[in-house]
């Protein structure tokens, strides 16, 4: 399988000024635009974390967006990705903002 085929899942955490700047709403919008599923939430230590699932090429696009773009008022210092794996089927129905 070439990179870009098949489904993958990856967890993420984004650091910087990412709370109080509509980061979760913009992340949800970008994920939906790319046809991805998963979730996003604020953490108690000022970061945003979540999980992305979908076609590998699209997941890679959202990873780049999380590293470099974010919401208009955000200032991303770094994004970390973990638990990257190939999956047989999506484990979420949509991309949700978790409160």
Render pLDDT for 3-29 as a digit per residue (tens, 0 to 9).
Answer: 556 999 999 999 999 999 999 999 999
Q: Active-site residue among 24, 60, 75, 83?
A: 24
Residue 49: closest CA among 38, 37, 57, 60: 38
pLDDT of res. 40:
98
From residue 32, give the alpha-carbon distance in Å to each of 13, 44, 49, 72: 19, 25, 17, 18
User: Is 83 part of the annotated catalytic residue set?
Assistant: no
User: Is 24 part of the annotated catalytic residue set?
Assistant: yes
Q: Active-site residue among 33, 42, 58, 83?
A: 42
Taking residue 51's Cβ as centre, other Cβ atoms within 10 Å add up to: 19
Q: What is the pLDDT of residues 57-88, one digit of tens each?
A: 999 999 999 999 999 999 999 999 999 999 99
């Amino acid at each position: 399988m070439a990179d870009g085929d098949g489904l993958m899942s990856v967890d993420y955490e984004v650091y910087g000024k990412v709370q109080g700047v509509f980061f979760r709403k913009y992340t949800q919008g970008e994920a939906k635009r790319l046809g991805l599923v998963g979730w996003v939430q604020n953490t108690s230590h000022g970061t945003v974390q979540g999980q992305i699932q979908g076609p590998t090429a699209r997941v890679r696009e959202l990873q780049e967006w999380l590293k470099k773009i974010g919401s208009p008022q955000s200032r991303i210092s770094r994004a970390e990705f973990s638990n990257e794996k190939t999956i047989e089927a999506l484990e979420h129905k949509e991309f949700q903002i978790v409160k």
